[in-house]
Amino acid sequence: MRTLVPIPPGATRAVRARRTALVALVTTVGALVLASVLLGTLRLVRSGALPGVAVAGVDVGGFSDAGVAMAVERYGERREDAEVTVALRDAQVTGTAAELGYGLDRDATVEAVLRRGRQTNPVAALWDQVHAFRGTLEVAPVERVDTGRLDAWVDEANAVLTQPPIEGTLEITGATVTPVYPETGAAVRTGELRQQLRASLLGPRLEHFVQAEEEAVSPETTVEAVEAVRAEAERAVSGSVVLSRDGASATFSPDDIGEALVVVRDGAALHLDVDAQRVLAAVEPATAAAWTARPIDATFTVSGGTVHISPSSEGFSFDPDVAAAQLLRLATSEGPREAILEGEALAPALSTAEAEQLRIVERVSSFTTEFPPDQSRVTNIHRIADMVDGVVLRPGETFSVNGHVGRRTADKGFVGGGAIFDGEFVEQVGGGVSQFATTLYNAAYFGGYAIPQHKPHSYYISRYPAGREATLNYPDVDLKIRNSSPHGVLVKTSHTSTSVTVSFYGTSWVQVDAVAGERTDVTPPEVETRTSGDLPPGAERVVQEGREGFTITVTRVLTYPDGRVERQPQRTRYLPEPRIIERGAS
């Protein structure tokens, strides 16, 4: 027999609660088991993308893995090739999204599509699986923007789109002056444009046309500056301007002036200038030539033993730049519009006053040498004498024959003549000029002038004074004479068919004597024989007679007005000139 024990009221409520919790647990476990079974079944049944999945509005639901990859690839190509146009006022620049730095991560996007309904979280996975029956699952594409490429593209776009301000200036056509007033320009607000483009590239809908925000770029010039230079230009073209010099004049009409005017901007300031080449073009060539004159040096002439000075005159250089500046001053000033042409005065190398100060008033010394007529060497002697005639030396100046005459060539009028080469007398262009050098040397010698460089002949030549002669050979053998007097020197030359004379004019300043010593170390000539095919066997002929060599000292004695005496000995050694005999081959 069972005994019934009564249950307290509180115990009844606890039992009921446990029962309810147990029922809930069983229900939840059942639901989870059912959901797991369902999720597993759906995962087995559904491969590829879930139904209803879309990427940026592109339906890929039910696509296989390869189909999803192909759809994502096509989307990426369309997105990257899409063009974006940025405009600022009337200017535009266009680039593709890829050029702006946009890129789609295709693999990551495909993975995001295929992961829907297959997450590790079963609740989220089941929700996607169930939701795929009745709606659309939107998957965001995995996109990025290369900041460096975007910044570079924006900078390039800004360079194209920026509209610089219009600076104030003048348009001058002939005598018509038209003001151009300054206008504000515009530049892109690059920071805002970068943000706007980035948001568009990464947003669900790409903006194909973007109006860039602008910032004002102010001009440097002002309306007041334009008006000021306008008034100056209108005054410049209000009438003609005339420039004259030495009887030649040029008239610049208002149109000429306007065509030559140039507006120059220096920061905020505007001023007028003149184009020198347009000024030159407005001047007649004959007038420009008349405005150009070479300076004329003072020259010395000798007549009847008296020295005369032909006066010098200044030259003038027509400089278009100087004329342009003068034209602008006259055209824009309130004064007269006609003036004497300004330019550079060209001073002569020797003015009349300088020539007079040289005190070239008398013949100081002269020397003459003679030669047989009708020889080619005579032509060379005359030519070099003419080239040296008229040389003027200031006190302290040095004259170089080679430096003044240069190489003796046929183009300068020299011909073949006798010269010494390797101990033998030969023909060469310019041969014979050594006779002029000897004449010049002796004229300078007896004038008391310094002779810092000279070279005697290797062999003695009887027509020259022993120990007082000189030879020349360009460029290494030279004759130099320095004006060691306190006065100027004029070198005058003259010649006949049988002689050449060199005279030095100046002011007598020293007495000169020459004392020749005895010939010493006399050496007989050596005999050289040669075989000649022009002679018959055993025959012979003398090609060069030969001459003995010797040493001689000649002393120049200078006696100055104060009684001081200076002795200048000059020792010369002449080699024996070989006797050359040619014989016929035996």
The confidence score (pLDDT) of residue 38 equals 42
Region 101-125 average pLDDT:
91
The confidence score (pLDDT) of residue 33 equals 39
Q: Which residue would you say has higher pLDDT here, 141 or 584? A: 141
The confidence score (pLDDT) of residue 42 equals 43
Region 215-222 average pLDDT:
95
Q: Is residue 282 part of a domain?
A: yes
Residues 358-380: pLDDT tens digits?
999 999 999 999 999 999 999 99
Q: Is residue 178 part of a domain?
A: no
Confidence of residue 423 (pLDDT cuts 50, 70, 90): very low
Cα dist from 513 to 170, 266, 445, whole Å: 82, 75, 9
The confidence score (pLDDT) of residue 44 equals 42
Which of 354, 378, 411 is where one domain is finished? 354
Residues 303 and 372 in one domain: no
Q: Is residue 499 part of a domain?
A: yes
Q: Is residue 4 part of a domain?
A: no
Residue 254 has pLDDT above 70, yes or no: yes
Which one, of 283, 292, 284, 267, lies nearest residue 346 by Cα?
A: 292
Which range, of 116-130, 286-300, 558-572, averages the lowest pLDDT?
Answer: 116-130
Residues 254 and 301 in one domain: yes
Region 313-339 average pLDDT:
95
Residue 516 has pLDDT above 70, yes or no: yes
Region 311-317 average pLDDT:
95
The confidence score (pLDDT) of residue 41 equals 43
Which of 354, 379, 397 is where one domain is finished? 354
C-alpha dihedral, 382 to 385 to 387 to 393, nearest 10°: -170
Residues 325 and 474 in one domain: no
- Per-residue burial over 67-103, b if 16 or more Cβ lie within 10 Å, else e, is ebbebbeebbeebeebebebebeeeebebebbbbbbb
Residues 444-496: pLDDT tens digits?
999 999 999 999 999 999 999 999 999 999 999 999 999 999 999 999 999 99
Residues 367 and 348 in one domain: no
The confidence score (pLDDT) of residue 32 equals 42
DSSP-assigned letters across all residues of 465-518: -TTS----BTTTB--EEE--SSS-EEEEEEE-SSEEEEEEEE----EEEEEE--
Residues 390 and 499 in one domain: yes
What is the extent of the structural domain holding 260?
224-354
Q: Is residue 132 part of a domain?
A: no
Residues 474 and 564 in one domain: yes
Residues 339 and 383 in one domain: no
Residues 422 and 563 in one domain: yes
Residues 419 and 502 in one domain: yes
Query: What domain count does the chain have?
Result: 3
Q: Is residue 314 part of a domain?
A: yes
The confidence score (pLDDT) of residue 86 equals 96
Residue 202 has pLDDT above 80, yes or no: yes
Residues 32-74: pLDDT tens digits?
434 444 444 444 444 689 998 999 889 999 999 999 999 999 9
Residue 308 has pLDDT above 90, yes or no: yes
Confidence of residue 346 (pLDDT cuts 50, 70, 90): very high
Which one, of 219, 221, 193, lies nearest residue 207 by Cα?
A: 193
- Asked if residues 567 and 514 have their Cβ atoms less than 8 Å apart, the reply is no
- Asked if residues 502 and 439 have their Cβ atoms less than 8 Å apart, the reply is yes
What mean pLDDT is reported for the chain?
Answer: 90
Region 9-15 average pLDDT:
58
Residues 482-509: pLDDT tens digits?
999 999 999 999 999 999 999 999 999 9
Residue 253 has pLDDT above 70, yes or no: yes
Percentage of the residues of the chain whose pLDDT score is greater than 90:
77
Region 266-295 average pLDDT:
95
Identity of residue 4: L
How many residues in the chain? Answer: 586
CA 306 – CA 163 distance, rounded (Å):
82
Region 553-561 average pLDDT:
98
Residues 424 and 317 in one domain: no
Q: Is residue 420 part of a domain?
A: yes
Show the tokens assigned to 302. 């000798």
The CATH number that applies at residue 328 is 3.10.20
The confidence score (pLDDT) of residue 419 equals 53
Q: Is residue 331 part of a domain?
A: yes
Confidence of residue 10 (pLDDT cuts 50, 70, 90): low
Residues 269 and 313 in one domain: yes
Q: Which residue would you say has higher pLDDT here, 565 or 537? A: 565
Residues 309 and 383 in one domain: no
Confidence of residue 533 (pLDDT cuts 50, 70, 90): confident
Which of 312, 338, 354 is where one domain is finished? 354
